[in-house]
Amino acid sequence: MNKTVKGYAIGVMSALIAVGGVAYATSGQRNIDVTYDNYKVYIDNTLADLTDANGTTVEPFVYNGTTYLPVRGVAQAMGAQVTYDGASRSVYIWDKMVPGETFLMDVCPPYEGGDVYSSSEGRTFEMDGKKRSNGVTIWSNGNSVLFNLDGRYNSLSFDIGHNGYLEDEKTVTFIVDGKTVKTITLEPEQLAKHITIPLNYGLQLKIATEGYGNVGLADMIVE
């Protein structure tokens, strides 16, 4: 499906989709009179429980003869995923939720930089004397890797550590859509550690490194 709906949302819901079409509006605010009358939504003949991101029940309403439904509530009831980009005021509706234990290397390996190690290809690298996979290694000293996330993921979990030159300190910065979300320093001879960073349903992830030697990121799982 992978559809983008653009427009300005009015009211307490972050975005609304109208039955029968999508409403496009200019930016601004105005007061409107809407009708709530316990309108129900059935999906495959089953009454849907529509909730917002916090689990609070939200109701459809009628305005000027058109019934408006809460995007997130309807999409989630149908097993789809919804993300919102505030910068462009865009709602993204994905036809499938991201399954648990999804490796980043399987769904969107880096399109620039880094060396990819995937278990499906049988490739491994070492951290702390152990063979690792489902990740990347990055040569430090100012290098970086880029991932196209397509706005589909909320968080990324992984193990990070030295992949050579253990005596050197290394700094790794995680940048989502141009904003730094996490900076990690690997002390000399430090063992690998498990980290979770927010992706905030961003479009691009950049992992930038400083220091000397390789940095390894293993078992990179997105949710």
d(CA 134, CA 117): 6
- Check residue 128 and give its pLDDT: 94
Q: What is the pTM of this model?
A: 0.62
- Check residue 179 and give its pLDDT: 97
Length of the chain: 223
Question: Comparing C-alpha atoms, which of 52, 96, 54 is closest to residue 74?
Answer: 52
- Check residue 9 and give its pLDDT: 31
Question: By CB neighbour count within 10 A (0-12 exposed, 13-18 middle, 19+ buried), where does 23 fall?
Answer: middle
- Check residue 16 and give its pLDDT: 45
User: What percentage of the chain's residues is helix, strand, coil (to nearest 5)?
Assistant: 5, 45, 50
Question: Comparing C-alpha atoms, which of 67, 63, 46, 56 is closest to residue 14?
Answer: 56
- Check residue 126 and give its pLDDT: 95
List the domains of the chain with CATH numbers.
Answer: 3-94 (no CATH), 102-222 (2.60.120.1060)
* Helix, strand or coil, per DSSP, at residue 98: coil
First vs last Cα of the chain: how many Å apart?
19
Residue ranges for the chain with pLDDT beneath 50: 1-23
Helix (H) or strand (E) holding 74: helix 71-77
pLDDT (tens digit per residue) in 23-77:
455 667 888 888 888 888 887 778 888 887 777 888 898 988 898 888 877 777 7
Please give the order of strands across the beta sheet that includes 81-85. 3-6, 90-94, 81-85
> Contact at 8 Å (CB) between 168 and 213?
yes
Question: By CB neighbour count within 10 A (0-12 exposed, 13-18 middle, 19+ buried), where does 102 fall?
Answer: middle
